[in-house]
Each structure stands twice: as structure tokens, then as C-alpha cells.
Amino acid sequence: MIRAAVLAVTERSRTRKLITETPPGRLVARRFVAGETLDSAVSVARSLNEEGLKVSMDHLGEHVTDVGAAIEAKDAYLACAHAIDDAGLDANISVKLTQLGMGLNDDMAADHVREIAAAAARVGTSVTIDMEESIYTETTIGIYEGAQKAHGNLGIAIQAYLLRSAADLDRIIPLGGHIRLCKGAYAEPEDIAYQGDSEVDRSFDRLSALLMSSPDTKPAIASHDDARLVPVLEAATQRTAPWEFQMLYGVRRDRQRELADAGNDMRVYVPYGEAWYPYLTRRMAERPANLAFFARALIGK
């Protein structure tokens, strides 16, 4: 698959250096990442709000290897919650559990999530737990279950390409949190994930239909593929409970505004921070259009 090939290439040290240390590479990063500081992310979020778009702010980072880094990440999210409040943003927070210590000390990661959720609740917002590689799926859902039962203002991402996701939805929908449905961006083996685009699309459509028919959760349908959005818009005509679309910062910006202007809630995932390379490479792997943008930047067009 194209995704696996791109991810394999971007893991090479030469590729990393090309992207992170050259002007064209950093130009691409600016397209998809809202700067390296919280202040820059707040500025981007404010501009998006002014266009009628909601925001989910993500301080980039993952797979920390020491307790100190996990604590720093937690503190960065607490600062993000305060910044959302101070700036009066229509925004929530997205977190990755391996950035907060999952895989190093799962109990610590769970404590960090609960502390962030409490801070978010104090400023009237919510927290979405991103889904990472499949080896972390069960632990991620377990931490989400505990935090959502304790605080009630969390959501979780579910990846349509994982074979287990339908069963996971049956488990988490009753918890009442919001659920972000995305296709999935990590390289996974065939006994874990659907491999073909058509298989992933069919799974996405099945799961989005399930979510849109459930009054007990708030679906967040995260796709840039119009073919995936059409059945959701049709299902929305029969739905009275809240739901929303989500798209990534820098991807299909005109379409984001079109959907918002048509009266749909549209939330833009706004990543920021210095650890942007892994995030950027997954975005290139997901969509050929992103690869084309990078190629044009490299040749100066």
C-alpha cells in the first residue's frame, strides 16, 4: 500500500533531515502544523473561530521515554486549557496517551488524563483521546473508560481500518462521550487492519452509520473524502442529537468552510509544537495530494 511505502521512506534518517532541516520541508510543516508554540496555535485557532470553525488543539508528541517528559507533556496540556479559556476560544483538547506516559507507566498516563480532563472541565471544554498504534488500543480504551466515568467530558478516536473497531464501539458508546471516527494512519498487519482502500471505506461507512444512528454519543466524523461525507449528511437529516465533522488543519480548507457555511458543525484539528515530524509523515502517507504538495515545495513551485 502507498501508506506503508511512504511511512517506510520517512523513517529513514536522510528523509527526516531533508524535511526537518531544509526550507522546503519546513514550508510543508507550516501548511499542516500551527507553529511550534502555544501562542502560535492560539492565534491560528482564533482565526479559525472567526471563520465559523471549531478547533481541537493538539500539543504534538508521542512515545515519551522518561517520566519527566510525560509530566512536561501533561503540563503543556494544562497550559493549553488555560489558554483556551483566556482567549475565549471555541476549542477542545486532543491528547496522545504515549505522550503522557502510556507504555512507560500506564497508571501515570491515566492520572495525567484525569488531571487534564479536570482542568478542561473547569474551563468548560472537553478532551479527546487520540488512538495510536494497535498495540495500545486496549490500554487506551481502558484509560478512556476510567476517565470518562470519573469526569464525563471526554471522547475517544476510533480507527475504521482496525478489524476490532465495531466491537469497540459497542463497548464505548454507552459511556456517552464523543467519538471521533477516522480511517487510521498507522501501518498495521492484515490480521489487525483492513489493507485495501475499498475495505477501509466500507468499514468507515458502516461505523459512521452506527454512530449517526446512536443518540447516546456525539459522533465526530473525521474524513476528507466526500464519498464518506455524503451518507453522513443524509443520516444527519434524521438525527436530532449533536454531531460534527472534523478535518485536519491545512487539508481541504475550502471544503471545511463550505460545510460550516452550510450549517454543519466543523471542527479543525490544530496540531502545534516542536515534535511535528511523525505527525507530518502520517499526513503525507494518508493522502496523495499531500505528497504532491510536498513535491511542489521541494522543486520550488
Catalytic residue among 180, 267, 282, 283: 180
CB 193 within 8 A of CB 184: yes
Return the closest-CA partner of residue 62 out of 133, 160, 166, 126. Answer: 133
Catalytic residue among 58, 130, 168, 201: 130
How far CA 32 is from CA of 20, 28, 141, 269, in Å, comes to 14, 7, 28, 10
Q: Is 216 a catalytic residue?
A: no
The type of residue at 228 is: R
For residues 268 and 141, what is the distance between their CA atoms, to the nearest angstrom? 23
Pairing of strands 218-222, 54-59: unpaired
Set of cell numbers at residue 97: 496517551
What residues have CB less than 8 Å from 66, skipping those under 6 apart? 104
Run of H or E including 94: strand 91-95
As a three-state string, the secondary structure of 175-227 is HCCEEEEECCCCCCCCCCECCCHHHHHHHHHHHHHHHHCCCCCEEEEECCCHH
Q: Is 257 a catalytic residue?
A: no
Q: Where are the alpha helices (DSSP H) in the chain?
A: 2-10, 13-21, 23-32, 38-50, 67-87, 106-122, 137-151, 165-172, 197-212, 226-236, 253-261, 277-286, 288-298
Q: Which residues are catalytic?
A: 130, 180
